[in-house]
Structure 1
Amino acid sequence: MIIDTLANANRYEQLHPLFSKAFSYLKNTDFIHLPKGKYTIDGEQLFAIVNEYDTVDAANEQCEAHKKYIDIQFIVSGTEQMGHLMVTNEAPSKAYDTDADYMLFAERPTFLSVITAGMIAIFFTETDAHMPNLHADGATVSLVKKVVVKVAAQPI
């Protein structure tokens, strides 16, 4: 798991062969005016999901993890809190869904981070469980626009 600003993304390009292309897309796209939806960057190995939503209460959420895709979550506007859980031997509370590429964990996050506009959070596969979309202060609903770039863990 990595938390930083998009301005510092070049520090992480060497971690995956598609990260450079993903960061370039995030830096060069005007997301303020881009509607919600799925956008292809490089076929099914690299695509973006643009979403806008109200933050939610952590009490009703579970941590999620993926197997096929690494998440690069970029906050376009607004502020949210994200929970983090390093998965070691925990058993999923919801078994892995191959089609949707996620599994859920009942364990609570071990720590929380407040993520603001211009920041990225990178969650690697299987061990980096995360609980995104949470109220930044733990209580107040706020509107967030976010882009999640899905990066194939095993590029084609």
Structure 2
Amino acid sequence: MIIDKIENSQLYAGVSERIAKAFAYINSTDLLNTEVGKYEIDGENVFALVQEYNTKNLEDCKLESHFEHIDIQYVISGTENMGVSILSKQIPHTVNNEKDVAFYKNDSTLFELTEGMFAVFFPDDLHCPCIKNGENSKVKKLVVKIRI
């Protein structure tokens, strides 16, 4: 798991070629004016999902992990809390292999993700996005899915 500001993204580009492509896309795209939707970066190996939503109460959010993808979650505008935990002995209550997601009991530590910040989640990193920070608010976020 990595949590940082986008201006430090070059520090992580060496982790893999696909992660470097993801950060190049984030840094070269006018994301504030990009419409909600899916955007190919490197076919199905690296693609971006632009999302807009209102943050929710913690109990309405799901702690999740992925098997075949790394997530980079970048906040374009707004602020949200995100729950995080390291996968150890937790057992998922729901697994959807087709959608590459497993859900767990939400037992996580919260951190604040603000505009211009990103988090990178590897398969052993459980994450619970979209949590309100105080009041519900609108967030525009980019999620880049990177095939392992």
TM-score, normalisation: structure 2 = 0.97
Aligned pairs for 1:77-156 within 5 A? 77-95=77-95, 97-109=96-108, 111-125=109-123, 127-137=124-134, 140-153=135-148
Structure 1: which 5+ residue stretches go unaligned?
A: none
**Moved segments of 4+, more than 3 Å:** none
Question: Counterparts of 1:63 and 1:37 in 2: how far apart (Å)?
Answer: 23
SS at match of 2:88: coil
Contact 1:52 1:145 in 2 (8 A): yes
Q: Post-superposition shift, 1:71? A: 0.3
Q: Post-superposition shift, 1:61? A: 2.2
1:27 aligned residue: 27
Please, what is the CA RMSD of the aligned residues? Answer: 0.9
The amino acid across from 1:149 in the alignment is V
Contact 1:62 1:108 in 2 (8 A): no
The amino acid across from 2:126 in the alignment is A
TM-score, normalisation: structure 1 = 0.92
1:10 aligned residue: 10
The amino acid across from 2:113 in the alignment is I
Structure 2: which 5+ residue stretches go unaligned?
A: none
Contact 1:54 1:141 in 2 (8 A): yes
The amino acid across from 1:144 in the alignment is V
Contact 2:61 2:130 in 1 (8 A): no
Contact 2:68 2:147 in 1 (8 A): yes
Equivalenced residues, count: 148
The superposition leaves residues 15-60 of structure 1 with CA deviations (integer Å, 9 ceiling, x where unpaired) of 1221111101000101111110000000000000000000000112
Contact 1:41 1:48 in 2 (8 A): yes
